[in-house]
Amino acid sequence: MTDTLPPCPECGAAFTYQVDALLNCPSCGHEWSGADTDDVADVVRDSVGNILQDGDTVTVIKDLKVKGSSTPLKVGTKVSGIRLVSGDHDIDCKIAGFGQMGLKSEFVKKVSD
């Protein structure tokens, strides 16, 4: 093959292959179209696939242990005014009783306004 395929946008594996119009990742099983690769990195989605934006309100979907605290962050905790950042924890927020915190988008669900 003369052209190289992009790495998987989900797990970053370089061993992607093409089947018809879709690109496939053998490591995680993710499928995507080659045209989507530019926009995928900029989009942050919650646990059910809703697109998150700065200022959204989200709710925590499971109890989360908080490093340095004896009490966990309880399921159903509402977090207002989130800020999206790059990195492992892609949401910066302020939670009452806990203070400034970073959350992973896979543990939150967007609340409809």
Q: What is this structure's pTM? A: 0.62
Please tell me the predicted confidence (pLDDT) of residue 2.
41
pLDDT band at 36 (very low <50, low <70, confident <90, very high): low
What residues contact 22, with CB distance under 8 A and at least 6 apart? 31, 32, 33
Asked if pLDDT for residue 38 goes beyond 70, the answer is no
Q: Report angle CA 66, 105, 33 to the nearest 5 degrees.
A: 150
End-to-end CA, the chain? 49
Q: Tell me the pLDDT tens digit for each residue of 1-32.
A: 446 788 888 888 888 888 888 889 888 888 88
Could you tell me the pLDDT band of residue 40, with boundaries at 50, 70 and 90? very low
Whether the CB-CB separation of 76 and 92 falls below 8 Å is answered with no
Q: Is 3 exposed, middle or buried (0-12, 13-18, 19+ CB in 10 A)?
A: exposed
